[in-house]
């Protein structure tokens, strides 16, 4: 989830190129609605978004037993806000670790389930 369409495009491109199926949302409230309808394997979110920011989205996800264990990957320009996320990566930096870090999150989740 990201309010910047260019950032969503880049993330979608990287994930689809690696073989992942991607759903996207422009803000946290739209993401929360989508997640509650069909739980994803991992959530990738920005922290600064309109309507509902990433901080509030993560709080909702962690508080709901249906979504509390979904791995959350924060891709943001402000890591200080990534409280509750499993991993944070600089949105404006090198994204070469994006896919390996996501796969590690998914692997870790499968080990504990």
Please tell me the least confidently modeled range out of 12-21, 33-42, 71-80: 71-80
By CB neighbour count within 10 A (0-12 exposed, 13-18 middle, 19+ buried), where does 31 fall? buried
pLDDT value of position 1: 47
Please tell me the least confidently modeled range out of 2-6, 21-25, 49-53, 70-74: 2-6
The answer to whether the predicted template modeling score (pTM) of the entire model surpasses 0.85 is no
| Positive or negative: CA dihedral 39, 40, 41, 44 | negative
Residues 60-101: tens digit of each pLDDT: 999 999 999 999 988 876 666 677 888 888 777 777 888 888
Sequence spans of domains, the chain? 5-106
* Strands 43-45 and 72-76, sheet pairing: parallel
Which H or E run includes 14? Answer: helix 5-17
CATH class of domain segment(s) 5-106? alpha beta
């Amino acid at each position: 989830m990201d309010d910047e369409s260019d950032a969503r495009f880049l993330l979608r491109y990287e994930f689809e190129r690696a073989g992942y199926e991607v759903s996207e949302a422009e803000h946290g409230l739209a993401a929360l609605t989508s997640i509650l309808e069909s739980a994803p394997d991992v959530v990738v979110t920005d922290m600064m978004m309109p309507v509902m920011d990433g901080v509030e989205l993560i709080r909702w996800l962690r508080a709901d037993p249906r979504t509390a264990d979904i791995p959350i990957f924060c891709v943001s320009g402000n890591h200080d806000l990534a409280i509750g996320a499993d991993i944070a990566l600089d949105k404006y930096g090198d994204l070469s670790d994006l896919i390996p870090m996501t796969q590690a999150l998914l692997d870790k989740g499968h080990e504990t389930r």
